[in-house]
Amino acid sequence: MRKALLAWSSGKDSAWALHVLRQQGGVEVRAMLTTFNRNYGRVAMHTVRRELVEMQAEAAGLPLWPIELPWPCPNEVYERLMAEACGRAIAEGFDTVVFGDLFLEDVRAYREKQLQGTGLTPLFPLWGRDTRQLAREMILGGQRAYVTCLDPSKLPPGFAGREFNEAFLEEIPPDVDACGERGEFHSFVFASPAFSHPLDVQTGEVVEREGFVFADVLPSGVQSDQARP
């Protein structure tokens, strides 16, 4: 049985990768690894609050390994911190790192290069899937997510904060990837077959900043206060 660390973005693809591996067997995911903007306590790009990622980890039944990134974060600092996490994984008996990447060859090549010689093997359980079919599989399988960030040059701002569902798939422009793999949008999963229970969350304020549109997600009953991600 392979012992795996899951690269956890808080979004739909990493959650579905966890579900798929649990269904297949042979790989046991034992922890999730997430990078946070240290200044604002949020996941980079997805802009998800740390407390919500902690809620996801609890629902998934996995310990969370947070990596605190400075902002701005030079690439050499990012790579040093990731190397430290890999060292911890090896020391604790892990042999695999799981990624939810779908088809971007350069991203995969970068991950493979970074893990080369570490003793950790990269695994891409969703790789090469037709993304529209995969998106529908997620939705029909009971996975639910909100769009937390989008690129307004590719997707109209009104899609920020919407639920990732069949209506969303039908209404996005035809040149937008159904899973947002080219960076068109990012998401936060609040219900998944990988979770023991759905998360009680709500969408909040929507803001446009530095060329992107961000929708806050927060625990139900909490007032939105869109701190900079």
Q: Show the DSSP H helices in 30-116 as ranges.
A: 50-60, 75-91, 105-115
User: Residues 107-126: pLDDT tens digits?
Assistant: 999 999 999 999 999 999 99
DSSP state letters, 127-189: TT--HHHHHHHHHHTT-EEEEEEE-TTTS-GGGTT-B-SHHHHHHS-TTS-TT-TTSSEEEEE
- Residue 229 domain-assigned (yes or no): no
79-98 mean pLDDT: 96
- Residue 226 domain-assigned (yes or no): no
pTM equals: 0.94
What is the pLDDT at residue 161? 97
User: Residues 19-63: pLDDT tens digits?
Assistant: 999 999 999 999 999 999 988 899 977 789 999 999 999 999 999
- Residue 70 domain-assigned (yes or no): yes
53-57, 73-77, 139-143, 178-182: range with lowest mean pLDDT:
73-77
- Residue 227 domain-assigned (yes or no): no
- Residue 225 domain-assigned (yes or no): no
CATH number at residue 6: 3.40.50.620
Q: How many domains does the chain fold into?
A: 1
- Residue 133 domain-assigned (yes or no): yes
Residue of 68, 159, 145, 40 lying closest to 100 (CA atoms): 145
Tokens matching residue 105: 């060859």
Q: In which domain, by residue range, is 188 found?
A: 2-219
